[in-house]
Amino acid sequence: MCTTCGCGAGETRIEGGHAHMHRHADGTVHAHHHHHDHPHPHEDDRAPGHDDHDHHHHGPGGTIHYGRGPAGNSVPGLGQTRLVAIEADVLARNDALAAANRARLARARTLALNLVSSPGAGKTTLLVETLRRMAGVPVAVIEGDQETSTDAERIRAAGAPAVQVNTGKGCHLDAAMVGHALDHLPAVDGGVVFIENVGNLVCPAAFDLGESARVVIASVTEGEDKPLKYPGIFATADLLLVSKSDLLPHVDCDTELLIANARRVRPGLAVIRISARTGEGLEDWLAWIDAGRRMARLRG
Amino acid sequence: MHEMSLALALVGLVEERARGEGAARVLTVGVAVGRLGHVEPEALAFCLDGAARGTLVEGARFAIEERPGRAWCFDCAAEVGLDRRGAPCPGCGGHMLRVAGGEELRVTTMEIA
């Protein structure tokens, strides 16, 4: 089971490096990094007596893989019981890693955008068109998907460096995955890192990645009630892109209602109607990105 | 289902604290889940038993307590209770609300042996 994203049974992979993390029975944790090029199926990697084992590693094309077996702890005899107050935030570890990512990006005066949507909202198509129009700006892309490196390949074909994170059965990116992916991307001082999250309107909401802003993309084909059905992700967004606006003549979507619904869960949410196909809204979107870059430069 | 990742993080956190206390076993774990957070308590409960397997926390009872949602209403200029995101202000029926509490996922206590 993946430690950072427990949904999968050790199937998260990031392109571009190799690290193993081990937790021993005494609770100590250590990690070591090394690189190798051969495919490395997870199931074959578990040595007997080595169950408590976290790792992520590279598959074909340099993909990294996370995994964890069940912790094997012995339970000595019981003593007296005690009640201990803890008051600890379960997401504290992710949040600390996110803070580290954020500090690292701030030092490089880099704008980092976490793009979230349901599957098929048009994130990658929009991103490819965006990158095409950002020629000359330093950019890098982190692509999150359960499987395949199709999206990273599309981004690379568009001329931008990209690293694919495969989450296996995992349903979202987390701060550790993004930190590791950043290790494998060129620095883009003064530029933009786009993080295309796993297509999912639920789980990514809970995980801070260290991004500067969260952009939620809802396509007109999804209808106007998405913000009310999945309020968590809209409530944490800084910008709503209403995508595939070129399809409006063909679908029953009241975009005014979609936007009003989004603003019910996120008052004052900025909105851009956008179409990668016709170019509608792209100028506003690029201006929004540019304003963010300027803010990142002022902070850095 | 992100509740599984959160359950694993929660069990890891409890196990770490329990070890620090020199515990041999964890009997109960108190968990506070905010109504406006990103966690479904039933899904979390379902995942916790599995996540605890093979750890000091295996077999522990998880006492999950829901915490109410709270929001600041800009129109009422007051803090109000809020059951779910997107719901109107119970005072004025408006939506100019900023969530002010009830998003947490916290471990509050553990009973150890």
Q: What is the CATH number of the domain that holds B32?
A: 3.30.2320.50
Residue B60 included in any domain: yes
Shortest Cα–Cα distance, B87 to chain A (Å) = 8
Using an 8 Å CB-CB cutoff, list chain B residues near A267.
74, 95-98
Q: Give the distance from CA A109 to its chain's centroid.
A: 20
At position A292, the amino acid (one-letter code) is: G
Task: List the single residue in B7, B38, B85 with the smallest CB-CB distance to A206.
Answer: B38
Using an 8 Å CB-CB cutoff, list chain B residues near A3.
8, 12
Task: List the single residue in A82, A88, A203 with the smallest CB-CB distance to B107.
Answer: A88
Which two structure tokens, joined as six digits, stand for A179? 């930190």
- A33, A21 contact by CB (below 8 A): no
Shortest Cα–Cα distance, A208 to chain B (Å) = 12
- A65, A11 contact by CB (below 8 A): yes
Q: Do B17 and A72 touch (CB under 8 A)?
A: no
Q: Do A227 and B86 touch (CB under 8 A)?
A: yes
Q: Do A6 and B38 touch (CB under 8 A)?
A: no
* CATH 3.40.50.300 describes domain A93-299: yes
Which two structure tokens, joined as six digits, stand for A57? 């590693």
Task: List the single residue in B2, B10, B98 with the smallest CB-CB distance to A171.
Answer: B2
User: What is the predicted pLDDT for the residue at A86?
Assistant: 86
Mean pLDDT of B26-46: 93
Q: Which of B2, B3, B14, B97 to mutate to test the interface with A (most CBs of A within 10 A)?
A: B2
Which two structure tokens, joined as six digits, stand for A70? 């069940």
Q: Do A6 and B27 touch (CB under 8 A)?
A: no
Using an 8 Å CB-CB cutoff, list chain B residues near A73.
15, 54-56
Residue A202 CA to residue B25 CA, distance in Å, equals: 34
Using an 8 Å CB-CB cutoff, list chain B residues near A82.
21, 23, 111-113
Q: Do A71 and B99 touch (CB under 8 A)?
A: no
User: What is the predicted pLDDT for the residue at A299?
Assistant: 77
Q: Residue B6's domain spans which residues?
A: 2-69+101-112
- A170, A11 contact by CB (below 8 A): yes
Using an 8 Å CB-CB cutoff, list chain B residues near A146.
none
Shortest Cα–Cα distance, B62 to chain A (Å) = 14
Q: Do A77 and B24 touch (CB under 8 A)?
A: yes
Mean pLDDT of B81-90: 93
User: What is the predicted pLDDT for the residue at A220?
Assistant: 97
Residue B76 included in any domain: no
User: What is the predicted pLDDT for the residue at A63?
Assistant: 39
Own/partner long-range contacts of A98-102 (Cβ < 8 Å, ≥24 apart): A98/A175, A98/A178, A98/A207, A98/A208, A98/A209, A98/A210, A99/A210, A100/A175, A100/A179, A100/A210, A101/A175, A101/A178, A101/A179, A101/A182, A101/A209, A101/A210, A102/A210, A102/A211, A102/A212
Residue of chain A whose alpha carbon sits nearest to that of B5 = A6
- B80, B73 contact by CB (below 8 A): yes
Residue B95 included in any domain: no
Q: Do B106 and A90 touch (CB under 8 A)?
A: yes
| Residue numbers of chain A with a pLDDT score lower than 70 | 1-14, 16-80, 300
pLDDT digit string, tens, across residues A87-105: 899 999 899 999 999 999 9
Domain spans, chain A: 13-68, 93-299
Task: List the single residue in A78, A172, A264 with the smallest CB-CB distance to B113.
Answer: A78
At position A258, the amino acid (one-letter code) is: L
Here the ipTM equals 0.85
Shortest Cα–Cα distance, B48 to chain A (Å) = 11
User: What is the predicted pLDDT for the residue at B32?
Assistant: 96
Angle made by CA atoms A167, A171, A172, in degrees to the nearest 5: 80
Q: Which of B76, B85, B104, B106 to mutate to test the interface with A (most CBs of A within 10 A)?
A: B85
Using an 8 Å CB-CB cutoff, list chain A residues near B17.
84, 86, 88
User: What is the predicted pLDDT for the residue at B2?
Assistant: 87
If pLDDT is split at 50, 70 and 90, which confidence band does B80 have? very high
Residue B77 included in any domain: no
User: What is the predicted pLDDT for the residue at A131?
Assistant: 97
Residue B11 included in any domain: yes
Q: How many structural domains compose chain B?
A: 1
